[in-house]
């Protein structure tokens, strides 16, 4: 089995041979063995070490060990210090989640700035099984039970098929030194509790536990692929995309054998977690919406509307346009031009008699009580009634901007209708053209 470590890397990971690689190294046995292996096989490697400042002097000794190892093997080393506890509290995360986010973000930054092809981590078979059991205790969909992927984008895990026991034996036979993280012996963290209290019992019941789990994991991945193929076909039938909005047809979803399960498969990559709430949205009143940390899901008549969540305060702000200004790019892109002739108008372009304007103009979202005089219609109309009559979706209403005079009169419901009070006549020397750039 020991010989298979080198053979596996040479045979199955030969695509890494001529690549520029970054190894995430902690000083622990796994990453140190990986470093020695790839160095001996003449891979083009550099090292990256994170000091999370979580274990006082021990963290500094880990860093010193990695520095000495890089010098001994003549390898380039990137290192960084993180205030992990502060980051975790600020982002309301566990220490482990915070550390993971910090290190992977940093790895990607190094890759981009130094043209590395891959970052390599030293996860092994025991890590894979521990992750499965953690997900099992917390409740997970199929994704959480298929294990850690050996290759995920530009992250590669060359040791994933090998046990901790095999890696330890390799280190001892080859006289490889490493740093022992004393916190690994503590059962404070759920992973260590599983490692020290649960896995020994399971391995006693089944000495070939890791091999059995590898087969189960492979079967689950095959099942997952079948599900993904099915979901791709279903998505073509129930989903449509319009501008920045994804529309899910409620009637077609309800005709499926298990609407809740299909919604999970269609939406799980958008970070929703309360799946009962997602399912109940199918029968909720229009206007009901739920949020993930990245997306909004809104019930609007016969559809669920999925959009990227706007966490900025732009929707609550008013933006001013000064006289003489020719363009604005945020929050939307508008151009302002004086013209001699009026060409054909459309939803993206309007013409105004400049004498009716009171600067600075205002750009804002609609509010209750807003009204205007829609061009092509008779008289005044509440904006809410106009939206309803035009069958404009709730999500589209939320994303609609108004161009207003300084006295708050609506000049243009942008991308929809101009106010008739500001229409420019054909013969005027005060023609003012406003265009939204899409």
- DSSP strands (E only) in 375-425: 381-382, 401-404, 410-413, 417-418
Q: How far apart are CA 339 and CA 432, in angstroms?
A: 6
CA-based end-to-end distance of the chain: 60
Task: Return the DSSP state at 188.
Answer: S
Strands 410-413 and 151-152 turn out to be unpaired
Domains of the chain and any CATH numbers: 2-217 (3.40.50.620), 243-308 (no CATH), 314-436 (no CATH)
CA of residue 80 relative to chain centroid, distance: 24
Specify the residue for token string 């600075």: 360
Q: Are residues 186 and 41 in contact, defined by beta-carbon separation less than 8 angstroms?
A: no
Q: From CA 53, how far away is CA 60, in angstroms rounded?
A: 8
Q: Cα dist. 215→9, 123, 222, 288 in Å?
A: 20, 18, 11, 44
Cβ atoms of 81 and 111 within 8 Å: the answer is: no
Helix (H) or strand (E) holding 279: helix 275-280
Helix (H) or strand (E) holding 434: strand 431-436
Establish how many alpha carbons lie within 13 A of residue 215's alpha carbon, considering only the half-sphere containing its beta carbon.
4
- Helix axis angle, 29-40 relative to 164-173, nearest 10°? 60
Predicted confidence at residue 427, as pLDDT, reads 60
Q: CB of 431 within 8 A of CB of 422? A: no
Reported as type and span, the H/E element at residue 81 is strand 77-81
How far is it, in rounded angstroms, from Cα 373 to Cα 383?
9
Q: Which of 379, 387, 375 is nearest to 418 (CA)?
A: 375
C-alpha 207/C-alpha 213 separation (Å) is 11
Going residue by residue through the chain, which has 438 residues, state the pLDDT in tens, using 9 for 90 and above.
Answer: 556 777 777 777 788 888 999 999 999 999 999 999 999 989 999 999 999 999 889 999 999 999 999 999 999 999 999 999 999 998 888 888 899 999 999 999 999 999 999 999 999 999 999 999 998 888 777 777 888 999 999 999 999 999 999 999 999 999 999 998 877 777 877 888 999 999 999 999 999 999 999 999 999 989 989 999 999 999 999 999 876 678 999 999 999 999 999 999 999 888 888 888 899 999 998 888 888 878 889 898 899 999 887 655 445 578 999 988 999 988 889 999 888 777 776 778 999 888 889 899 999 988 888 999 998 888 899 998 998 888 887 777 877 899 999 998 999 999 899 999 988 876 667 788 999 987
pLDDT at 313: 46
CA distance 109 to 101: 12
- What are the tokens at 31? 């990453």
CA 156: distance to chain centroid? 20
Strands (E), 233-325: 239-242, 245-249, 289-291, 295-300, 303-308, 319-321
Distance of alpha carbon 366 from alpha carbon 403, whole angstroms: 10
How many Cβ atoms from other residues are within 10 Å of residue 239's Cβ? 17
- Please spell the DSSP secondary structure of 343-376, one letter per residue: ---BTTEEEEEGGG--SSEEEEE--TT-EE-BTT
Say what the pLDDT of residue 205 is.
96
1 burial (CB, 10 Å; 0-12 / 13-18 / 19+) is exposed
For the full predicted model, state whether its pTM sits above 0.75: no
């Amino acid at each position: 089995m020991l010989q298979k470590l080198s053979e596996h890397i040479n045979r199955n990971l030969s695509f890494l041979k001529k690549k520029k690689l970054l190894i995430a190294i902690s000083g622990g046995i796994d990453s140190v063995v990986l470093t020695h292996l790839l160095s001996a096989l003449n891979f083009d490697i550099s090292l990256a070490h994170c000091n999370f400042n979580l274990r006082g002097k021990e963290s500094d000794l880990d860093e010193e060990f990695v520095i000495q190892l890089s010098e001994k093997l003549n390898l380039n080393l990137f290192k960084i210090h993180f205030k992990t506890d502060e980051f975790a509290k600020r982002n309301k995360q566990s220490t482990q989640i915070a550390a993971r986010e910090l290190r992977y973000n940093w790895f990607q930054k190094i890759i981009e700035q130094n043209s590395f092809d891959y970052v390599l981590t030293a996860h092994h078979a025991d890590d894979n099984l521990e992750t499965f059991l953690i997900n099992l205790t917390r409740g997970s969909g199929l994704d959480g039970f298929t294990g850690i992927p050996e290759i995920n984008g530009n992250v590669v895990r060359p040791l994933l098929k090998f046990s901790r026991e095999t890696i330890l034996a390799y280190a001892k036979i080859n006289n490889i030194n490493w740093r022992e993280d004393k916190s690994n012996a503590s059962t404070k963290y759920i992973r260590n509790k599983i490692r020290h209290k649960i896995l020994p019992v399971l391995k006693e019941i089944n000495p070939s536990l890791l091999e059995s789990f590898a087969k189960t994991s492979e079967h689950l991945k095959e099942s997952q692929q079948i599900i993904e193929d099915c979901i791709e076909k279903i998505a073509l039938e129930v989903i449509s995309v319009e501008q920045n909005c994804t529309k899910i047809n409620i009637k077609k979803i309800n005709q499926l054998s298990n609407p809740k399960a299909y919604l999970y498969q269609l939406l799980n990559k958008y970070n929703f977690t309360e799946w009962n709430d997602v399912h109940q949205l199918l029968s909720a009143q229009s206007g009901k919406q739920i949020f993930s940390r990245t997306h909004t899901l809104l019930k609007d008549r016969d559809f669920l509307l999925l959009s990227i969540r706007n966490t900025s305060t732009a929707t609550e702000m008013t933006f001013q346009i000064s006289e003489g200004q020719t363009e604005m790019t945020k929050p939307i892109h508008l151009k302002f031009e004086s013209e001699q002739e009026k060409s054909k108008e459309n939803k993206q372009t309007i013409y105004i008699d400049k004498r009716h304007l009171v600067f600075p103009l205002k750009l804002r979202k609609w509010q209750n009580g807003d009204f205007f005089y829609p061009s092509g219609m008779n008289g005044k109309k509440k904006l809410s009634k106009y939206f309803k009559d035009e069958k404009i979706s709730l999500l589209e209403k939320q994303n609609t901007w108004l161009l207003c005079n300084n006295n708050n009169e609506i000049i243009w419901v942008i991308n929809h209708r101009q106010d008739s009070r500001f229409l420019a006549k054909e013969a005027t020397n005060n023609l003012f053209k406003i265009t939204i750039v899409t």
